[in-house]
Amino acid sequence: NLPSYRACSQMLSSISGYQYTRRAWRKEAFEMFMEPLFFQMDVRSIAFWRVIIDNLMTHDKTTFKDLMGRVTITQSGSLNLFSSKEQEYELRSQMMKRLAFTIFCSETDQYQRAMPEVQERLAECLRLPQVANVMSSVFLCFRVLILRMSPQHLTSLWPTIITEMVQVLLQIEQELSTETDEFKTQIQRIAALDSSWAHLGNGLNAHNNPAW
């Protein structure tokens, strides 16, 4: 029920700024933040949750420590005995995304003192095999840190960012230069197309594009 959820989010964002109301909503808000479907909400609701998460983490320093603790537990791989690697990587990705969102909701340099620990969490993710969803969350965290940290606090992070960007670009280059069977099939299909349709009074020719 999107309208109801949005209205509740708006109300919670309004009262979350009052310290004396914290005990009434802290636990439930943190649990909702940990829900797997948290980021499935609409854009208007996420704007309210930016305020909620900022107030949740700012007014009580232990909450951010709780979040970092969960990221650390996830990084250690101690989910449960029967968890698969795919589940572990997905949970790790989600926790890094929550960390990035928390920092994004903050003021500039608010988490500057936590940078060494944040960098350690990022380094642990980068020591994993190349997993797309984990790497996506790591780069998201990089982007957020660039937005929310002053340049002098990012000095130690830039070598890692540049190294990972180079690795990704090299991987893209390798994939583009590799002619897989599917790629060859697509090229053959394009070569077999009848280009006469392009000379009609519509399609590409209508926009003065060259025939191909």
The pLDDT of residue 195? 60
User: Can you give the pTM of this predicted structure?
Assistant: 0.77
| Structure confidence by residue, pLDDT tens digits, 88-138 | 888 889 999 999 999 999 999 999 999 999 999 999 888 887 788 889 999
The pLDDT of residue 127? 86
Averaged over 130-154, what is the pLDDT? 92
Residue 42 has pLDDT above 50, yes or no: yes
pLDDT band for position 73 (cuts 50, 70, 90): low
> How far is the C-alpha of 210 from the C-alpha of 205, rounded, in Å?
7
Domain boundaries, the chain: 2-179, 180-212
pLDDT band for position 59 (cuts 50, 70, 90): confident
The pLDDT of residue 80? 53
- The listed range with the strongest mean pLDDT (70-74, 138-142, 167-171) is 138-142
